[in-house]
Amino acid sequence: MSLKLEKIANYAGPKGPVVLVVMDGVGIGKYEEGDYVRSANKPNLDHLLATCPHTVLKAHGTAVGMPSDDDMGNSEIGHNAIGCGRVYDQGASLVAKAVASGDLYQGETWKKMIANVQAHGSTLHFIGLFSDGNVHSHIDHLKGMLAQAKKEGVKRARIHPLLDGRDVPPTSALDYVLPFEEFLAELNSDGSVDYAIASGGGRMKVTMDRYEADWNMVALGWKTHVRGEGNLYPSAQAAIEALRAATPGVLDQDLPPFVVGRDGKPVGPIVDHDSVILFNFRGDRAIELTHAFEQADFKPFDRGPRPDVLFAGMMQYDGDANIPALYLVTPPRITRTIGEYLADAGLHQLAISETQKFGHVTYFFNGNRAEKFNEALEDYVEVPSDRVPFEERPWMKSAEITDRLIEAIESGKYDFIRVNYPNGDMVGHTGIFPAVKIAVESVDLALGRLIPAIQKAGGILVISADHGNSDDMYEHAKDGTVKMDKKTGLPKARTAHSLNPVPAIIYDPANLAKAKLTDKTGLGISSLAATCLNLLGYQTPEGYDPSLVSVGD
């Protein structure tokens, strides 16, 4: 298909830029209780909803390429869908199909990993997020690979689980660890294999950093998983119980690292000739550990002696940089993104966010592409995130992002700008209710500053989200009642993304586009790409999901 954009005959586009604002984690709640978007003081967002064309969009499940509508959306696949204007099968779907069909085990990488441990009598290791959240990984994929490894004669396997509590209930670790230990016991029952949990820790404490925000997390993970250094516990269950007792109220995602030991020694350090599989399929929190295993000239931290191992990722996390070198499932090749179309048309673009979501408005928005399409036409601005718990500064960098954004709008340089405000998502994951309310209000303050800037520049705002989170902060029973914490008497916090839709608002103060909302229903966030193109004065490209508006009539 052609990359050439066709102009809309009777509409030339706005004088100023079209600015796409992604309010990360700000959805439309199903329940009043626990909806901290609804309860927040947000006069600017409320005014926009009362006065501007707006609709709701799906941001989860099949609408963003997940296996079923029981699967939540997330920022990675959300920005993929927004940026490319259509829906691709995502990592969760691709890996689930590869495991279920057995295609994964017929691939060259799997065969190499197995052959390596068989040739050396060494250990097969699995590192990854340990839940069924289906955002970064799925525990069923891990179980499938372990069962297959036993079938293929792998005698020894070690698992290094990263406890979730973020995409699943915040203190649910034992709900996964105990059944998994039973699963391992069944595999071990005939005495032919020795499969065991070797180390672990909370996902926000060890290993799963992203965008190089805190390499200390990865260094701690390396020390724990690879070198087997740290406090020894007889089992993962014993470790979790002891760590919770030491810090009452701690969430799974924040649990310190642990090492499982026998006879005073770690059961599963990673040594020469082992095979290591990072079973996360999502790339943003997998790339740094991949670098630590793969790079010969590695500077972020002292690894000590690097073991000579065969390393593979569940998927390729960066196709342009070929990271990792070996991977089990081929990711989707996403082409013809809105960024590529606009670069080909000669339009100037800006992408801006703070570190926590910078990769989303660049790499993921561009279809998992690290490089720009045209260096002369595209600018990327990363505002460094604070290295403090999000609940302690729930405003995050919203003010600084807005400062830079207003400068860009006033410069007259850019035709299309995309920005992500991470607050509703990153603070929503903490489960600290007052902080979540402030996070949403901080984004609203930013909108209040953008409105006059857009009005003065003659531009158009498109305001939406990649998924929900802050809109659903309480755990609810099936009948809709709020689940209460027996210890505190307060509602149980829900820290995962929601399954709720998200808003889509068109703010065109001069009514230049004369935009009329479509009467199509059931659209998803993938329709935002065509919407932005239409508002810029271009027709919807072939194969794109429908625009939310018709313009120029």
- pLDDT of 473-497, one tens digit each? 999 998 999 999 888 899 999 988 9
CATH topology of domain 92-329: 3.40.1450
Residue 95: pLDDT above 80? yes
Residue 246: pLDDT above 70? yes
Quote the pLDDT of residue 526. 98
Q: List pLDDT tens digits, range 262-278.
A: 999 999 999 999 999 99
CB-side neighbour CA atoms (13 Å) of 28 = 16
Closest listed residue to residue 374, CA positions, set 409, 411, 404, 415: 415
Phi, psi of 237 (to 5 degrees): -60, -45
Strand, coil or helix: 176: helix
Is the C-alpha dihedral spanning 403, 405, 409, 414 positive or negative?
positive
Share the mean pLDDT of the chain.
95
Is the C-alpha dihedral spanning 299, 302, 305, 306 positive or negative?
negative
Report the first-to-last Cα separation within the chain, whole angstroms: 28
Quote the pLDDT of residue 420. 98
pLDDT confidence of 336, banded at 50, 70, 90? very high
Least confident range from 30-34, 88-92, 419-423, 461-465: namely 88-92
Cα 147 to Cα 143: distance, rounded to the nearest angstrom: 6
Inter-residue contact 13 to 536 (CB < 8 Å):
yes
| Cα 284–Cα 287–Cα 293 angle in degrees, nearest 5 | 160
Predicted TM-score (pTM) of the model is 0.80
Inter-residue contact 373 to 416 (CB < 8 Å):
no
Residue 379, judged by CB atoms within 10 A of its CB (0-12, 13-18, 19+), counts as middle
List 39, 68, 75, 172, catalytic entry: 75
Residue 321: pLDDT above 80? no
Inter-residue contact 386 to 397 (CB < 8 Å):
yes
Per-domain residue ranges of the chain? 18-89+333-550, 92-329
Q: List pLDDT tens digits, range 409-438.
A: 999 999 999 999 999 999 999 999 999 999
Cα 387 to Cα 16: distance, rounded to the nearest angstrom: 35
Q: List pLDDT tens digits, range 2-47.
A: 689 999 998 999 999 999 999 999 999 999 999 999 999 999 999 9
Cα 525 to Cα 503: distance, rounded to the nearest angstrom: 9
Q: List pLDDT tens digits, range 134-185.
A: 889 999 999 999 999 999 999 999 999 999 998 899 999 999 999 999 999 9
Residue 191, judged by CB atoms within 10 A of its CB (0-12, 13-18, 19+), counts as exposed
Q: Structure tokens of 3? A: 């990359």
Domain 18-89+333-550 sits in CATH at 3.40.720.10
**339-366: average pLDDT:** 96
Quote the pLDDT of residue 379. 98
Quote the pLDDT of residue 320. 63
**Residue burial 494-512, b: 16+ Cβ < 10 Å; e: rest:** bbbbbbbbbbbbbbbbeeb
Quote the pLDDT of residue 1. 60
Identical fold between 18-89+333-550 and 92-329: no
pLDDT confidence of 283, banded at 50, 70, 90? confident
CA 31 from chain centre, in angstroms, equals 24
Higher pLDDT, 71 or 197: 197
Cα 505 to Cα 482: distance, rounded to the nearest angstrom: 30
The verdict on whether 275 is a catalytic residue reads no
**282-307: average pLDDT:** 94
Residue 333: pLDDT above 80? no
Inter-residue contact 462 to 19 (CB < 8 Å):
yes
Number of CB atoms found within 10 A of residue 299's CB: 8
The 3-state DSSP composition of the chain as helix, strand, coil percent (nearest 5) reads: 35, 20, 45
Q: For residue 353, what are the β-bridge partners?
A: 382
CB-side neighbour CA atoms (13 Å) of 308 = 4
To which residue do tokens 């305001």 refer? 463
